[in-house]
Amino acid sequence: MSGTARPLRAGLVGLGVMGRHHARVLNSLDGVELVAVVDAAAAEPAVAQLVPAGVPVSADVGALLAARVDLVVVAVPTALHEAVAVPLLEAGVSVLVEKPLAHTAASAQRILAAAQRPGVVAAVGHIERCNPALRELRRRTARGDLGRLHQVQTRRQGPFPARIGDVGVVKDLGTHDIDLTAWITGAPYAAVSARTAHRAGRAHEDLAVVVGSLADGTIANHVVNWLSPVKERVTVVTGEGGTLVADTLTADLTLHANGSVPVSWEALAGFRGVSEGDVTRFAFAKPEPLRTELTGFRDAVLAARGGAPAPADAVVTAAEGLLVVAVAEAVLLSAAQGRTVDLPASGAGRA
């Protein structure tokens, strides 16, 4: 960032768990000035303690436009994303919407349509793409370390987060895995088959198991739930050269390589299957994912204002966010009807 350039004026809608972190990072991000925050509970005295000193808090989204913001982070419940994001985009403000982009594919499509104007960035906060372990995993698979990929497995489970009430585990947790799987492989989903369950008496599903096939032949399977006392965030990618295991809670990445030394003991060779090689846990920089995400959003906004394309991997686009929501809807349709749902190239489920 140039020391003489005017800082981008930033706004934030929502001071929930994620919104508070967005406020912290936006306030400290080089080249960005947090100038306005909106929250439904703005009148409560405690709310002022959640934002940096001197930043005004209002209950009216119109306050953002009055503050002449350049970019806004939307961190409200999923069902409200469209109502907040569309007027901002139509006013020429760049927006990053917390994932998922919307509660339905139709709503996501309307957000995408509102962003079709020069100089405006519409991004989605799929923060797992900014996890250092997954970034390193993708870098290694993209350069061919594993050869052809066979399978992507994810496990994302833990206790129920009381802050989530408007969507189930598929659109909350599962959308992380849908997005990161397509991102790592570079291939869209071709079909999904799923089962869901309601075990805790809530309105939405709290457990899901998904098997998917991608357009390049890779198989994906996802386990997500809000029922486990053990919090787990694991992505396992298996290919011709071995398996990479990313633990995104610790940001560790481990390679289990296929062995190049033949096993001469016949009984042991039969038991082992694919020969075992070296196991390596990699060392790499581990910056805070949210700072990486907002830095990328800032850089994309600056590029758009100059008429240039966003830097590679700077943001998850609204178009990508729409595809994720469409796959999530196909997962729920599959579970409801007990059948495999095919997805065309557009990502929309076929009934």
Quick one: which H or E segment has residue 158? strand 149-159
pLDDT tens per residue across span 64-122: 999 999 999 999 999 999 999 999 999 999 999 999 999 999 999 999 999 998 999 99
- Better pLDDT: 299 or 201: 299
pLDDT tens per residue across span 127-150: 999 999 999 999 999 999 999 999
**No. of H helices and E strands in the chain?**
10, 16
Question: From the centroid of its chain, how far is CA 290?
Answer: 11
Integer Cα distance of 9 and 19 in angstroms? 17
Lowest mean pLDDT among 26-30, 69-73, 304-308: 304-308
Judge whether 124 and 316 are in contact, CB under 8 Å.
Answer: yes
Give φ, ψ of 76 to 5 degrees: -105, 170
> Strand 242-247's sheet: what is its strand order?
276-281, 252-258, 242-247, 227-239, 149-159, 219-225, 207-214, 189-197, 341-342
Range list of β-strands (E), 101-145: 122-125
Q: What is the mean pLDDT of the chain?
A: 92
Place 274 in a pLDDT band, splitting at 50, 70 and 90: low
Q: Residue 2 is encoded by which pair of tokens?
A: 């140039």
Count of CA atoms in the C-beta half-sphere (13 A) of 31: 15
Output the pLDDT for position 349. 45
Name all domains of the chain by residue range, CATH numbers in brackets: 8-128+290-316 (3.40.50.720), 132-284+326-342 (3.30.360.10)
- For the segment 158-168, the average pLDDT, to the nearest whole number, is 81
Place 270 in a pLDDT band, splitting at 50, 70 and 90: low
